[in-house]
Amino acid sequence: MKVLMSLGIAALICVAGFHMLTDSPEKLRVSQEPREASIEPRETDTKPAPPAVQPVHTAPEPSVFTVPVSVAEISGTRFLELVNGDHAVSGEPGAVVSAWPAVPVSTKEVTIHETALEAVSGLIAAAREKYDSTFYISSGYRDAATQRRVYNEAADKAMVQPPGHSEHHTGLAADIFIIGIGQHDMAGTSEARWLADNSWKHGLILRYPGSKREITGIANEPWHFRYIGQPHAWYCVQNNLCFEEYIQSLKSGGGYTAELDGKRYTVSYQVPENGLIYLPESGSYDISGDNTGGFIITAWE
């Protein structure tokens, strides 16, 4: 199956071939509040062009998914698991690797899921082509003990989840900062706007936009990106959905079809019946539980 952040005044930014000094936004994030400026996709030349896509609540052709499979036999990617205050992490992530030297990092200890690393690396490389700035990851994967420390030290609990409920525990989230732009100053910058507008191209979404706080339960975080893959990231941006809203739209409509980057995607949301879900008879596909009782099957050709 195809499965595609001072720690002191001198925090080390590790870049392949050289080292830099910078303030560490991860430490700042528990002691300073960012502006409540919303960093969200807007109407710019970087917003995704509207490929051929069926309406939000149009389910895919049922004939695509015809092969019954027991959920007990499924080992999916978990890329689309919803993790928030209501839904705890379902387990430890697999394939967590060092983020350095693939991307600049706050310390060499930063790790992240290998698929998310590939996506973040692509986003940072594209950002550096546009801006004469150094973008880096301050935090990726966090275990429960680290998240407990971050949560206990946080002055503003509106910007951090308790242990067991943090996306960082999935290994699929990354906090991306810019040298010379502090956490408090990041919101509203051109760089932050560009990241939000272009992250979808790499399968990433801005997870906590300010306008969605009532839904996500987390204040505006223009640095926090989550990997969910394609066409899901494109669909969220195209329809101005946060991840919670995306999952709900799949539950309500059953799925959708879309043509993107030369591929035709068919997305199906299924709740097991008698312990079974239905997969495509042929072609490439990926399976992920949504952590709320359903499964999302993404097929493409």
Q: Which residues are catalytic?
A: 221
Handedness of CA 54, 58, 63, 67 (dihedral sign): positive
Separation of alpha carbons 225 and 205, rounded Å:
5
DSSP string across 129-196? HHSSS-EEEEE----HHHHHHHHHH-S-GGG-PPTTS-GGGGT-EEEEEETTB-HHHHTT-HHHHHHH
Query: What single letter denotes the amino acid at residue 187?
Result: A
Contact 63, 57 (CB under 8 A): no
* Residues facing residue 290 across a β-bridge: none
Give the angle 18-171-91 at the CA atoms, nearest 5°. 150
Contact 138, 24 (CB under 8 A): yes
What burial class does residue 35 get, using C-beta atoms within 10 Å of its C-beta: 0-12 exposed, 13-18 middle, 19+ buried?
Answer: middle
Eight-state DSSP code of residue 238? H
Angle between helices 114-130 and 190-198 (to 10 degrees): 130
Structure tokens at 98: 């060092």
The Cβ of residue 232 has, within 10 Å, a number of other Cβ atoms equal to 26
